[in-house]
Chains A and B, each alone.
Chain A
Amino acid sequence: MKYVDEYRGEEQAQRFVGAIGRLVTRPWTVMEICGGQTHTLIRSGIDELLPAAVTLVHGPGCPVCVTPLELIDRAQAIARRPEVILASFGDMMRVPGSTTDLLDTKAAGADVRMVYSPLDAVKLAEQNPEREVVFFAVGFETTAPANAMAVWQAHRRGIGNFSILCSHVLVPPAMEAILGAPHNRVQGFLAAGHVCAVMGTWEYDPIAARYEIPIVVTGFEPLDLLQGAYMTLRALEEGRWGVENQYSRSVTRDGNRPAQELLGRVFEVCDRKWRGIGEIPGSGYRLRPELAAHDAELKFEVGEIAAQESPDCIAGEILTGQKKPHECAAFGERCTPEHPLGAPMVSAEGACAAYYRYGRHEKVSSSP
C-alpha cells in the first residue's frame, strides 16, 4: 500500500537496528508518548530487535487509559437517561468504569451508539430532534480539533440537543509531570507525530531545555519509530538535548494554525485529572463558558459520583513509565482483556493490552 509499505521494509529496518547497535555504548531509557506507537513497537517486534541496553517505556498517550473512572461512570449515568443517545468512539465502549462498561450499559437498555467521527454525532442530533445526543469527547490534541468542530457546528447551526462530555487532555503538561516525578527514569522522548501535526513542535522546546533531554517528534510506522529511536539515542550518546523532527512529512514547527484557532474558540485550558496519575495542572481542555449549552456535565445532573480504582491496578506506574506491564502482579492473571482491572488492558492503545495481545509475557522461541 502506497505511503505505508515504504515505512515497513525489512531491509531498511535491519539497517536501523544495526546502526542503533553500533551507536549505543550504555543503557538508556526512552519513552514513546503515544499508545499507537506502543502498539506498532510491540506488533512489529521492534522492542525485541533493539539492543538490550535500550529500554523503551510506554507513555500516557492512550486517551482511553487516562480518562478518569468518575467520567466513565458519569457517561454511563447520562446514557441511562431515556432521552439520551450517547455516542462514543469504539474503543471507549469496553473501558470499565467502577462497576460496568458502556457495552453493558447498552445491553441493559441504554441507547449507546458507536461513531467514527464526532460530526456523525452532530448528524445524529439533527436526525433525532426529540432526543438529546451526547458525544463522549475524549482524547489528546489529535481528536480535539474534530470535537471542537462538532461543537462549533452545533453552536452555529443552533443544534441545541447536541452536547459533549468533555475529557480532553494535553501532552506537554503530562511530559513535565513525568520528568518532574521523583522516580523518573525517562531520558528521552519520542513525541507523538499526530499531536505535533496539530500543535506544532514549538511547545516542546522549553521542556527539552528545562530538563535537558532530547525530544524527537516521531511517526507511527515501524521505520518511523526505528528512525526516531536512532535520533534520540544519537542525541543521548552525543550529550545533546533539544527538539528534533523525524516526522517532517507531516509536522511543521507551527503546526496546523486553523485547527489551533478553532481549539481556542471552543476550548479553554483547565486542570485535569488523569486516570492512574492524578490531577495535572493545566493539562486539559474544557468548553468555554459561552458554549456551556453544549456541555453535557452542566446539562445533565447525575449526582455525585465517587469512584474507586481497583487496588491491584498499577496503571499510574505503567502510564508514567516507572513499570512495564508484565511487572504488574495482576498482569495476565487477574487482569486480562476479558476481565480488565484497569484501562491500559482494554484500549487498542493501552500498553498492557499490547503486551498481552502480542504475548510479551511469554518467551518467544527464536528458532524459525
Chain B
Amino acid sequence: MSDESRRDFALSCPLPLSEYPRVQLAHGGGGRLSQILIEKLFLGAYGNPALRQLHDGAVLATGGGRLALSTDSFVVRPLFFPGGDIGSLAVHGTVNDVAMCGARPLAIAAGFILEEGFPMEDLWRIAESMRDAAAAAGVPVVTGDTKVVDRGKGDGVYVNTTGIGWVAEGVEISPQRARPGDAVLVSGEIATHGIAIMSVREGLEFETALETDSAPLNGMVERILAAGGDGVHVLRDPTRGGVASALNEIAGQAKVGMRLEEGSLPVREEVRGACEILGFDPLYVANEGKCLAIVAPEAADAVLAAMKADPHGREATVIGTVVQDHPGRVYLRSSIGGLRIVDMLSGEQLPRIC
C-alpha cells in the first residue's frame, strides 16, 4: 500500500458513524452486526491471507522444531496514553514475551472484550494502532475473537493477545541459565512507560513530554542472539514490577546473586524527576520496550554492541553482574557507596504523602 492510500485508509473508521457510532451488544452476538464489525473493522485493519480465511482459527506453516507460546491480557487505563494505546501495547507486549523466549514471533491472535456503548471511532483507533504495531514488528494478526459485555460491566475495551514464535536450533534461553560471572545488560533507559502512564492517571496528572517506551523487541533479540550465540543465557522484558522484580525472579530461579551499580542505571532526567516527586524507585517502575539480557562475560561486549545497533537499544548499558554470593538476592551499590538489598516489590508503589 502506498503512503498516500495508507493515509486515506487511516482517516476514519470504516463503519459509518451515522450507522453505529457506538458498540452494541449485537456486535458480539455472532449475527450480521458481528460480521460487519469483523469484515469492515478488523479485516480492514489486519487483512492478511490467514485472517481473510475467516476460519475458526489460523493455520501456519513452520519449519518444524520448537515453538514458543505466550499470552497476555491488557486492561490498561487510560486506553490512550502519551506515545501509545492499549492496541500498540497489546502487540508489543506479546511480541516481546515471545521474543524473550529466544523465539522469532510468527503470528498473533487477538481477543477483544468490548463494553456496550464503546465509541466505534475509538475501537477503530485501537485497531489501527494494532495494525501499525504489528506491521512494524513484522508479525501478522492472524485470528481473533470479539465479545461484547453489558454497559457498566467492562472498562471500554480489554484486549488479549496470544503470540506464537519459532525457536532456532541451539538457542537455549532460560532464567536457570544465569551463572556467576555473567553480565547484566539493559537495552535502554528504564521506568519511562510507568511514569508516562502515571502522568495521565486521574488524580495524579502532571505535565511532561514523556511518552511510553512501548516498542517491539523481536528485531533486537535477533541481533542479540546473532551476536552472542550460546553466550546469551537469559532474556527478560521488565514490564510490571520493573527491573528489580525481573532480576529478583531470575536470581531466585537460577539460585544466584546479583550486584547492580546505582550509578550505571540508565534513567531519563524527566523520569528521575517524576520518581523523586512521587517517591518511586525507578527500579520498580514498568517498562514496555526494554530488554534485560544476562550473558556470559566473553559475549557481553558483542551483545552490548548488538543492542546499541538496534533502534530501540541505543542507550543499552551494563548495569551489574551475576555473583555466587547471596543466592536469590539482588544487591545494589548506592551512588554514595553504601550497599543495600533490592527486594521484590510487595503490592503497587503508591505515591507518598510528603
Nearest chain B CB to A193 CB, angstrom units: 11
How many residues does chain B have at the interface if contact means C-beta atoms less than 8 Å apart? Answer: 32
Q: Is B179 an interface residue (CB 8 A)?
A: no
Q: A115-B204, A194-B354, A365-B325 in contact; A337/B337 too (CB < 8 A)? A: no
314-341 of chain B: CB within 8 A of chain A:
325-326, 329, 331, 334-341
Contacts of B204 in A (CB 8 A): 114-116
Q: Are A10 and B336 interface neighbours, CB within 8 A?
A: yes
Contacts of B206 in A (CB 8 A): 116
* Residue in A1, A43, A113, A338 whose beta carbon sits within 8 Å of that of B203 in the complex: A113
Encode B238-276 as 1/0 by CB contact (under 8 A) with A: 000000000000000000000100010000010011001
Q: Are A43 and B350 interface neighbours, CB within 8 A?
A: no
How many residues does chain A have at the interface if contact means C-beta atoms less than 8 Å apart? Answer: 55
Closest to A338 in B: B346
* Residue in A139, A222, A338, A349 whose beta carbon sits within 8 Å of that of B335 in the complex: A222
326-368 of chain A: CB within 8 A of chain B:
336-338, 347-349, 356-359, 362, 364-368
Q: Are A364 and B341 interface neighbours, CB within 8 A?
A: yes
Q: Is A252 an interface residue (CB 8 A)?
A: no
Which label, helix, strand, loop or mixed, suits the secondary structure of the B interface?
A: loop
Q: A1-B273, A337-B346 in contact; A120/B335 too (CB < 8 A)? A: no
Contacts of B276 in A (CB 8 A): 1, 4
Q: Are A8 and B335 interface neighbours, CB within 8 A?
A: yes
31-65 of chain A: CB within 8 A of chain B:
36, 42-46, 48-49, 63-64
Q: Is A287 an interface residue (CB 8 A)?
A: no
Alpha-carbon distance between A272 and B276 when the two chains are bound, in angstroms: 31
59-89 of chain A: CB within 8 A of chain B:
63-64, 87, 89
Q: A90-B350, A114-B350 in contact; A358/B259 too (CB < 8 A)? A: no
Q: Is B352 an interface residue (CB 8 A)?
A: yes
Contacts of B337 in A (CB 8 A): 10, 13-14, 45, 49
Q: Is B353 an interface residue (CB 8 A)?
A: yes
Contacts of B353 in A (CB 8 A): 63-64, 89-92, 138-139, 143, 349
Q: Are B203 and A44 interface neighbours, CB within 8 A?
A: no
Encode B178-220 as 1/0 by CB contact (under 8 A) with A: 0000000000000000000000001110100000000000000
Encode A102-145 as 1/0 by CB contact (under 8 A) with B: 00000000000111100010001000000000000011101100
Q: A114-B351, A116-B351 in contact; A358/B203 too (CB < 8 A)? A: no
* Residue in A8, A48, A63 whose beta carbon sits within 8 Å of that of B354 in the complex: A63
Closest to A348 in B: B352
Alpha-carbon distance between A111 and B351 when the two chains are bound, in angstroms: 19
Alpha-carbon distance between A222 and B346 when the two chains are bound, in angstroms: 25
Q: Which residues of A pack against B, CB within 8 Å?
A: 1, 4, 8-10, 13-14, 36, 42-46, 48-49, 63-64, 87, 89-94, 113-116, 120, 124, 138-140, 142-143, 194, 222-223, 226, 336-338, 347-349, 356-359, 362, 364-368
Q: Which residues of B pack against A, CB within 8 Å?
A: 202-204, 206, 259, 263, 269, 272-273, 276, 278-279, 325-326, 329, 331, 334-341, 343, 346-347, 350-354
Give me 21 A-to-B residue pairs in the complex whose CB atoms sit less than 8 angstroms apart, sorted by A's number: A1-B272, A9-B336, A10-B336, A10-B337, A42-B340, A44-B335, A45-B334, A90-B350, A91-B279, A115-B203, A116-B351, A124-B203, A336-B346, A337-B346, A347-B352, A348-B279, A358-B341, A362-B341, A364-B340, A364-B341, A367-B325
